[in-house]
Amino acid sequence: MKYVETGGVRISAIGLGTWQFGSSEWGYGAEYNRVEAGNIVRRALELGINLIDTAEFYGFGRSERIVGKAIRDHRSEVFIATKIFPIGLAFMTGWRARRSARRLGVDRIDLYQLHWPSPLFPPRATMPRMARLIEEGLVAHVGVSNHDLREWQQAEEALGRPVLSNQVLFNLVDRRPERELLPWAQQNGRVIIAYSPLGQGLLSGKYQDSTPTNLVRRRRGSFSTANRARLAPLIAALREIGSRHGATPAQISLAWLIRKPNVVAIPGASSVRQLEENAAASEVVLSDEESARLDSLSA
Ligand SMILES: NC(=O)c1ccc[n+]([C@@H]2O[C@H](COP(=O)([O-])OP(=O)(O)OC[C@H]3O[C@@H](n4cnc5c(N)ncnc54)[C@H](OP(=O)(O)O)[C@@H]3O)[C@@H](O)[C@H]2O)c1
């Protein structure tokens, strides 16, 4: 496993996203939540993945509980990241963090992230509370998610110290973080956590010929017939480059992301097999020419 070391942390370049756990919208069912999800977490740790990302919002606490149960005997191997959803009021921050920690079964959250910017959670109200959680030892690092550069910097100013990471939509079909967020993170020792790094499965190529039925994908314009047709040349290139590396399109998509300094990716997985495939993407090294080809097809 490759690791990103910056800002006082060492996190795996491939992490594990757990929105799928306990969430009805992904539709993976009770057996997945009861058995497979825990197996996915434990196998991830065996393969050297330490970054596990969850949120109080995922399955309304169920994802945190599933993760908590799976890491019970492995606390020292995990860099646990969770998020506070900006509904309610900012003064609830400490109480909500303690509830997340309890569901996770930990006495310290390694990375506590503000899930979205919101006028209900302005940095001047939220970040001093986050700073207090750091002083109390409940939180090790603060992060944000879905913040633009100005919002990220405002959060830092209000926190009075670095906001380690920004978790954003970043993949071969959405490259907006490359404009401002990534250069700033690279220059200042911060981390970009790429969510939906597989375009929610789109970049695996397996949905090219069939309209997906699950609720998450039906809501996305990116899965429309027209968009899938538009992406055909990119998917073909992922397949072709993959065949040279003995890798799948999903692995090439992840390898393209994590070759960028200060970027980690947190793919979700519907099975242990997918998790293993995603972890192995950390060993795929793309050439400059291959990466440039993917750049040109995704511009
Ligand atoms: N901060 C935020 O606002 C935010 C928003 C979204 C997500 N996230 C985080 O980011 C994580 C990942 O994003 P995501 O779940 O939206 O999208 P993703 O990681 O791009 O896609 C995950 C889905 O792709 C398929 N897949 C995974 N590995 C595969 C492989 N090797 N080969 C083929 N298919 C594969 C699986 O679906 P099927 O098997 O059903 O095809 C899986 O559920 C989430 O779990 C969550 O932790 C954060």
Q: What domains are there in the chain, each with its CATH number?
A: 3-200+251-285 (3.20.20.100)
pLDDT at position 219: 77
The pLDDT score that the predictor gives to residue 295 is 97
43-63 residue pLDDT tens: 999 999 999 999 999 999 999
- 268-289 residue pLDDT tens: 999 999 999 999 999 999 999 9
Q: Is 58 in the active site?
A: yes
* Catalytic site residue from 28, 58, 112, 207: 58
Cβ contact 152:166 at 8 Å: yes
| First-residue to last-residue Cα distance in the chain | 29
Average pLDDT over residues 250-257: 98
The structure's pTM equals 0.97
Going by the DSSP 8-state scheme, the letter that residue 138 receives in this structure is S
Q: Give per-residue burial for 47-71: e unless 16+ CB within 10 Å, then b.
A: bebbbbbbbbbbbebbbbbbbbebb
The backbone torsions φ and ψ at residue 219, rounded to the nearest 5 degrees and listed phi first, read -75, -15
Query: Which mutation among 56, 196, 218, 238 tests ligand 1's pocket best, with the greatest number of atoms within 8 A of CB?
Result: 196
DSSP state letters, 209-235: TS---SHHHHT-GGGSHHHHHHTHHHH
Ligand 1 site, residue 143, Cβ cutoff 6 A: no
Task: Give 224's pLDDT tier (boundaries 50, 70, 90).
Answer: confident
Q: What is the distance in A from the centroid of ligand 1 to the CA of 137?
A: 31
Mean pLDDT, all residues of the chain: 96
Per-residue pLDDT, 226: 87
- Cα 284 to averaged position of ligand 1 atoms, centre (Å): 19
| CA 268 to ligand 1 centroid distance, Å | 4
Instruction: Average the pLDDT over each of 8-17, 58-67, 206-215, 230-239 and give the range with the smallest value.
Output: 206-215
pLDDT at 115: 98
Portion of the chain with pLDDT greater than 70, in percent: 100
Q: Does pLDDT of 30 surpass 90? A: yes
Q: Which whole-number Å values give the CA distances from 41 to 33, 68, 218, 265, in the listed order?
A: 12, 10, 27, 16
Residue 220 has pLDDT above 90, yes or no: no
Output the pLDDT for position 210. 81
Main-chain dihedrals φ then ψ at residue 83, nearest 5 degrees: -140, 150
Residue-wise pLDDT for 89-147, tens only, equals 999 999 999 999 999 999 999 999 999 999 989 999 999 999 999 999 999 999 999 99
φ, ψ for residue 80, nearest 5 deg: -90, 125
β-strand pairing of 139-145 with 165-169: parallel
**In the prediction, which pLDDT does 209 show?**
87
DSSP state letters, 96-116: HHHHHHHHHT-S-EEEEEE-S
Taking the C-alpha atoms of residue 281 and residue 275, their distance in angstroms, rounded to an integer, is 10
Tokens representing residue 206 in the block: 């397996």
pLDDT tens-digit series, residues 131-177: 999 999 999 999 999 999 999 999 999 999 999 999 999 999 999 99
* C-alpha span between 93 and 104 (Å, rounded): 16
pLDDT exceeds cutoff 80 at 211: no
